[in-house]
C-alpha cells in the first residue's frame, strides 16, 4: 500500500486577509508577508475597503487595517492603497504590510496597558474625592493619610501614563521608519 507524503511546508507567519479589494499578486504578497511575520502564527492582518458616506450625500472608499480585530488605522482613500500597490513590488508591499502589522501588535499591547492605567486613575480619583468629602474640616489622621497616599498614587499613575504614551510614540516612529505606507496610515 502506497501513501502520499505531503511535502508542503506549513506557513507559520501571520495571515493576511484582504477583503473587498481587487489586488494583483495577492498570493505572492501573502506568502512574503507570512515570511516576514513568522513569529506571529496565530495572528491576522485584515485589510478591507469600506464605503464612507459624507454629510453632503457623497461617498468614497477608504482602506481599513486591523490586527486580530483591533483597528490599527486607515488610508483615507482606497485609491491611495491601490496606487501604492501598483508602484511597488509584491515583496515591498509585504514588507510595508509587515510594518503596519507591527503597528497593530503594538497598539494591541499598549491599549490594554493604557486602559488599565486609566481604570486605576479613575479608581484612585474616586477614593480621593470620597476621602476629601468625608474629611471636611475635621483633622482625622486616618483620612489625612488616606488622602496623602491617594494623591501620591495618582501622581505615580499619571507619570506612568505619560511615560507609556511617550514610549508608544517612540516605538511607533521606529516601526514606521521611512516606509511610505506605514507613514500614510492614520492611526485610530
Please tell me the predicted confidence (pLDDT) of residue 4.
46
pLDDT for position 12 = 61
**Residue 2 scores a pLDDT above 80:** no
Task: Please indicate, yes or no, if residue 173 is contained in any of the structural domains.
Answer: yes
User: Averaged over 31-47, what is the pLDDT?
Assistant: 88
Q: Name 184's Cβ contacts closer than 8 Å, sequence gap at least 6.
A: 75, 80, 84
Comparison of pLDDT for 138 and 161, the residue scoring more: 161
Number of domains in the chain: 1
Q: pLDDT above 70 covers what percent of the chain?
A: 94
pLDDT for 9: 46
Measured distance CA(87)–CA(184) in Å, rounded = 15
- Element containing residue 166 per DSSP (H, E): helix 141-176
What whole-number percentage of the chain has pLDDT above 90? 39
Beta-sheet pairing, 44-53 with 59-67: antiparallel
4, part of any domain: no
Classify residue 107: in a domain, yes or no.
yes
Q: Select from 156, 64, 164 the least CA-distant residue to 111.
A: 164
The Cα 142–Cα 128 span in angstroms is 13
22 within a domain of the structure (yes/no): yes
- Is 35 within a domain? yes
What does the mean pLDDT of the chain come to? 86
Residue 83 in any domain: the answer is yes
What's the rounded mean pLDDT across residues 86-111? 91
pTM of the model: 0.76
The answer to whether position 7 is within a domain reads no
Query: In terms of residue numbers, what domain contains 95?
Result: 15-187
Q: Are 19 and 26 in contact (CB under 8 A)?
A: no
Query: In this structure, what is the dihedral angle of CA atoms 99, 100, 106, 109, given to the nearest 10 degrees?
Result: -140
Task: Give the Cβ contact number of residue 141 at 10 Å.
Answer: 7
Q: Of 127, 125, 111, 126, nearest to 161 (Cα)?
A: 111
- Among the ranges 70-74, 103-107, 157-161, 176-180, which has the highest mean pLDDT value? 157-161
Mean pLDDT of 90-111: 90
pLDDT in tens, 106-145: 888 888 899 999 999 999 999 999 998 888 777 889 999 9
In a domain, 3, yes or no: no
Amino acid at each position: 500500500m502506497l501513501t502520499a507524503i505531503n511535502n508542503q511546508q506549513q506557513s507559520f507567519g501571520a495571515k493576511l486577509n484582504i477583503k473587498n479589494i481587487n489586488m494583483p499578486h495577492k498570493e505572492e504578497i501573502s506568502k512574503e508577508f507570512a515570511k516576514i511575520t513568522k513569529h506571529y502564527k496565530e495572528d491576522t492582518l485584515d485589510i478591507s475597503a469600506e464605503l464612507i458616506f459624507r454629510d453632503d450625500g457623497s461617498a468614497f472608499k477608504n482602506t481599513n487595517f486591523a490586527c486580530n480585530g483591533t483597528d490599527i488605522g486607515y488610508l483615507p482613500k482606497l485609491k491611495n492603497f491601490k496606487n501604492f500597490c501598483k508602484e511597488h513590488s509584491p515583496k515591498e508591499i509585504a514588507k510595508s504590510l509587515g510594518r503596519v502589522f507591527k503597528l497593530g501588535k503594538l497598539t494591541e499591547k499598549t491599549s490594554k496597558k493604557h486602559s488599565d492605567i486609566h481604570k486605576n486613575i479613575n479608581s484612585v480619583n474616586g477614593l480621593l474625592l470620597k476621602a476629601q468629602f468625608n474629611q471636611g474640616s475635621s483633622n482625622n489622621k486616618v483620612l489625612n493619610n488616606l488622602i496623602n497616599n491617594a494623591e501620591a498614587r495618582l501622581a505615580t499613575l499619571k507619570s506612568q501614563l505619560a511615560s507609556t504614551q511617550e514610549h508608544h510614540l517612540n516605538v511607533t516612529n521606529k516601526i514606521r521608519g521611512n516606509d511610505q505606507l506605514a507613514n500614510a496610515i492614520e492611526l485610530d
